[in-house]
Structure 1
Amino acid sequence: MENQQRNFGTWQITSIMISSMIGVGILTIPRTSTMLLQQAGWIGPISGALIAGVAVTAIVYLGNQFPGLTFVEFMPRIFGSVIGTMCICLFILYQFFNAGITARVFGEVVVTSVLPDTPLEVIIVTLLLLVLFLCCHEIEVVARVNELLIPFLLLPSLLIPLVSFMNADWYNLLPFHVESWTDVVKTGLDTYTLYTGYELLMVYFAFAIPGARLGVASITGMSFAFVVYMISVIAGISVFGYEELQRLIWPTLELVKVTQRTGWFLERFESAFLAIWVASVFTTIGNMFYATIFSLRQWFRKGIRFQRISAIVMMVPLFFFSLIPQNIVELYSYLKHLTTMGYMVTIFIPILLAITQFMRNKINKGRKENIEKGGT
């Protein structure tokens, strides 16, 4: 790996994972989880985490098998040059589209909640310029930024849902009953998308220092995201009830407003929450777009200058792509299509890579033992 040092510690990888997973999804998860499961919506984050957990396990296995290598380098070794190249293209496109849609959702939230008179384009451009600045630096800067901002993300993500329990009506969670396990699986496939971001570890694992505990970092990151989503869903159901949640566009933001009326010292508590949430979305999009640009840099075997030029060039189509949906309904339609693409990139490909590599190791080990036996 040219001019790149492996200097990410276990905590830095954990920070990148948490920041990549917790973003715009935290505002909608109470509604997503209760759409089919109703008062049993708290099962949604559990089933979603189980699905994501299988893919994360596969990525950790690949990270340990190919230390110091990103997916751009090890994918052709496992799948061959043709299929490997197709998978690399798919990964890069998915991250590009995901960054664009996430930027648009961010813009919609800010425009509808706190800055109604500010043009949507201005909000998105401001965010993307910050991301562009991040992409003009070497990869260790990404780790430092995530590490610096993670405390601002951790506390509010847990504190606000917990405080909103003061307004909870626990009868809203009853009865404890699941009508259809098919709905549990469907909800799991919907809520797993809120954990996506873990696939970026196929890039960032390559920079872990020798001896960094990739498994511990992954379990810690997944566990924190799971706890945050679980508490948010339980708070949403217990405060509003599942019927009311279906009428709210940003349920978690409404939780913040309810919390505000319980005697907190801030007059506009949701503004403070969104200020912190901006940092969370910035790291999410920053990690995605950096992984996209850095993967292109590695693919073409270029240096930091190529990375900077690519970031500037690709930022233009990214901005226009984020503006394609005409309204919130179209935006959710695009999100649905992106989710379908995400199944391939974030679940199918990592698991298939891990299984193929595992089988290859088994076959090579068997051959080696046969050769040793034949030699004796």
Structure 2
Amino acid sequence: MNDSRNITVGQATTILISTIIGVGVLAFPLFAVRGADSGAPLVTLLGTMLAFVGMVFVSLLGMRFPNQSIIQYSEDIIGRWLAWIGSALAIAFFAILSALIAREFGEVVITAVLKNTPLEVTVLVMLIMAAVSSRKNLTTFAYIHYFYSPLLLFPVLIIVVLSLKNAEAINLLPIWGNNPSGMLEGVLTTAALYQGAFVLTMVIPAMSKPQSALRVSIRGILITGTLYVAIVIASVSVFGAEETKKLLWPTLELAKATSLPANILERLDAAFLAVWVTAVFTTLFSSYYFTIRSISQLFRLTDHRMLSYFVLPIVFILAMLPRNILEMYDIIQIVGRIGLLITIAYPGALLLIAMMRKKRGDTA
């Protein structure tokens, strides 16, 4: 399972970008608007800053233990049994996250595209794709993300820029929102969008320059954070806060309301959905890969590939538990907020204890 150190800083950055930009891109403007009305861009910015704190903790830990993942160095920091509990919780969280990603993908597909296709089929197909792809090593994992990340960024940026021709700046005022009482809830929900960046704990030991992990986090958060804030600004300025609250997938509606110059394409929603499917795959790929690789490290297995199909039915069952799309989004918000304890608080506590106990990994 020891991969050679051949993942570059650029590849690690694209892993973060293509992992963070995922299935939640469709609905997250709705959650931000529910938090603070016209203050949704501010909510998104604050959520991004909170997520960056967790990424800094992960990066500093990786730089401190450059040859180990969080599953491994947590045992050196807090002892085997406490670390086992923390690792088990992280694995369970990412298994649930994988299930929710696949379920949300299925709900969007059967609602917007394949209306006569059973939900179970769309969910299972995406999970099988992730399971098959997860049998590769970390080098191939990095190459897949490196290939797909430009296909995610540029089309979404084009849609956002073109949609601004219909924008009304007054819809963004006041910038702190008319009712900021729900801002904290919105910030936590937005920060949950970045939880996939936790996969960096698995990537750092395979980086050619692990001491550049913090630079990777800064680049990743700047690019994805800018994109997310831009999407929220475009959604709120085009539709207004109150209208956005009535839209289940504001970003998809934004693509529908956007056209290319000279009406080459009157609606961009079909092209956007094609890009979105790719974004779902890369995000699910990362969370599923982290799950099975972490299990193999926790139980000290020599290979993670045997787990790729073993975990599949478990994740599929979890994906089918929500009774409908509304319950699914309620669960997503709850799980996302609880997950912040794992992706921000847990690495923060590990870093603090490591500094107090002067624990440091082998840098050779």
Alignment TM class, shorter chain as reference = over 0.9
Per-residue deviation, 1:114 = 1.4
Paired position in structure 2 for 1:106 = 105
Worse-superposed segment, 223-232 or 181-190: 181-190
Paired position in structure 2 for 1:337 = 334
Determine the C-alpha separation between the residues in 2 that align with 1:211 and 1:59: 12
CA contact (8 A) 2:155 2:272 kept: yes
Paired position in structure 2 for 1:346 = 343
Paired position in structure 2 for 1:149 = 148
Q: Which amino acid aligns with 2:188?
A: L
Paired position in structure 2 for 1:368 = none
Summarize deviations over 1:234-293 as a string: whole Å, max 9, x none: 101111000001110000000000003875423552121111111111010001111111
CA contact (8 A) 2:13 2:219 kept: yes
Q: How many residue pairs end up in the alignment?
A: 360
Paired position in structure 2 for 1:167 = 166
Q: Which amino acid aligns with 1:128?
A: L
Determine the C-alpha separation between the residues in 2 that align with 1:329 and 1:311: 30
Q: Which amino acid aligns with 1:224?
A: I
Q: Which amino acid aligns with 1:55?
A: G
Paired position in structure 2 for 1:370 = none
Q: Which amino acid aligns with 1:8?
A: I
CA contact (8 A) 1:96 1:288 kept: yes
Paired position in structure 2 for 1:313 = 310
Q: Which amino acid aligns with 1:87?
A: G
CA contact (8 A) 1:94 1:341 kept: no
Per-residue deviation, 1:211 = 5.7
Paired position in structure 1 for 2:290 = 291
Worse-superposed segment, 256-265 or 338-347: 256-265
Paired position in structure 1 for 2:133 = 134
Determine the C-alpha separation between the residues in 2 that align with 1:329 and 1:177: 27
CA contact (8 A) 2:54 2:344 kept: yes
CA contact (8 A) 1:55 1:346 kept: yes
2:319 to 314, 319, 322: 322
Structural mapping, 1:67-216, within 5 Å: 67-178=66-177, 182-210=181-209, 213-216=212-215
Per-residue deviation, 1:21 = 0.9
Determine the C-alpha separation between the residues in 1 that align with 2:47 and 2:102: 23
Summarize deviations over 1:156-192 as a string: whole Å, max 9, x none: 1211111100111222112344556653333211211
- What SS class does the counterpart of residue 197 from structure 1 fall into? helix
Q: Which amino acid aligns with 1:222?
A: I
Distance 1:211 1:92, change over 3 A: closer
CA contact (8 A) 2:37 2:179 kept: no
Worse-superposed segment, 141-150 or 331-340: 331-340
Distance 1:211 1:351, change over 3 A: closer
CA contact (8 A) 1:95 1:288 kept: yes
Larger radius of gyration: 1
Distance 1:180 1:35, change over 3 A: closer
Determine the C-alpha separation between the residues in 1 that align with 2:239 and 2:180: 24
Structure 2 residue 228 is matched with structure 1 residue 229: yes
Paired position in structure 1 for 2:241 = 242
- What SS class does the counterpart of residue 88 from structure 2 fall into? helix
Q: Which amino acid aligns with 1:315?
A: L
Q: Which amino acid aligns with 2:323?
A: Q
Worse-superposed segment, 241-250 or 322-331: 322-331
Stretches of 4+ aligned residues off by more than 6 angstroms:
none
- What SS class does the counterpart of residue 341 from structure 1 fall into? helix
Distance 1:109 1:162, change over 3 A: same
Question: Could you tell me the percent identity over the aligned residues?
Answer: 33
With the length of structure 1 as denominator, give the TM-score of the two structures: 0.91
Determine the C-alpha separation between the residues in 2 that align with 1:153 and 1:297: 30
Distance 1:354 1:244, change over 3 A: same
Residue ranges of structure 2 left out of the alignment (5+ in a row): none
Q: Which amino acid aligns with 1:30?
A: P
